[in-house]
Structure 1
Amino acid sequence: MSNHSSSSTSDFILLGLSSNPWMQKPLFGIFITMYLVTVMGNVLIILAIHSDSRLHTPMYFFLSNLSFMDICFTTVIVPKMLVNLLSETKTISYVGCLVQMYFFMALGNTDSYLLASMAIDRLVAICNPLLRIIVTVLRIPSAAGKWKAFSTCGSHLTVVTLFYGSIIYVYFRPLSMYSVVKDRVATVMYTIVTPMMNPFIYSLRNKDMKRGLKKLMDRVHS
């Protein structure tokens, strides 16, 4: 401690994903690409929803808010990580750590509430009008018919599984199962990968979103 300046005692050292100096620039390239894809993909989702009046429904209102939260959520984490990957001093100040953790927890909880609200919206949309839908769908003889019926919730179930699954693995598993590598991978999954994948999952599996994105592209090119 005597070899450190007095200001360093108020900083935290960030271990990062790897201490190997040769890995820093490749990791920087990977994560800045993922961050840019996350921002652009979620911005497209927001613009597509707001530009198409047919998407002005509760489900897509929640989806546009989820996209906005995903942009904010990754922005709390990724820029600082990118700076540290190219910096020799991988530290964060005490105040900076408190601010980052506050927004990380606040935005993460908001993401969870939005996903729960979207799940309730899908439950109401399916169960109320379509008098025990799961039993009915299972009685459909054709596989194509079953797939079409279940696809209403398919996108949301995929997102929920990725987001909640990785969080549960990180925070709810026994200490005896702790692994530094697996813990870091799971953390990257719900902080970076899931927000990046959400636009693709919702747009590629949803005909309404495809139509909205096509309409947005047509407006841009016209």
Structure 2
Amino acid sequence: MTARAVADVVLPCLNEAEALPWVLGRIPPRWRAIVVDNGSTDDSDRIARALGARVVREERRGFGAACHAGLLAAEAEFVCFCDCDGSLDPGLLAGFVRRLADGESDLVLGRRRPEGRGAWPPHARAGNLALAHMLRRRTGLRLRDLGPLRAGRREELMALDLTDRRSGYPLQMVVRAADAGLRVTEVDVPYLPRSGKSKVTGTWRGTWQAVRDMSAVLAEPAGTRGTGAR
């Protein structure tokens, strides 16, 4: 019988063939990469399998749909999330999981520190800051970023009953974690120029859509629980 992974890393993927070798090569030893193919047409699924990742197909388009499909497929005690575009180093998640295992936090987020020209477009950064301010008013959490690099315990993440299947998924995770009394902390991480074009915040239109999705999440009454698939 194969030993269970120390942690599972969920990697939502839409046409990331260029970045996959670097991303999967940075997964910590004895961890499992779960690449969630969200409709790729560039052989991302084939490349991921060849590099040893488990590939899960999610036909419903949407960042949240891909993330949640990965969470449902995860089996390890600790579940991590990371973009699959090479902008974030999944190797840093080992430190996140240590914080969880040592009882220092219940949900650890990576605060992005841009490195390199074009790593974080001004419109995307402005949208993120606005949402962080609204999050503080809604939950009291003094976070400075809502980045996608994060880690938590699978059991606790599942109990949040996350229902957003678009760009609001990462924010809903934080809001519902705060409502549930979980300790949410953030640590600085380098943010690199991504490979290829962003599907969400690479344009003003994409950023606006993300902000709109997340604003709807912030409008949820405290303690809201949906009926989404578990």
Which structure dedicates a bigger proportion of its chain to strand? 2
Provide the TM-score with structure 1 as the length reference.
Answer: 0.23
Higher relative contact order at CA 8 Å, sep ≥6: structure 1 or structure 2?
Answer: 1
Which structure dedicates a bigger proportion of its chain to helix? 1
Higher Cα radius of gyration: 1
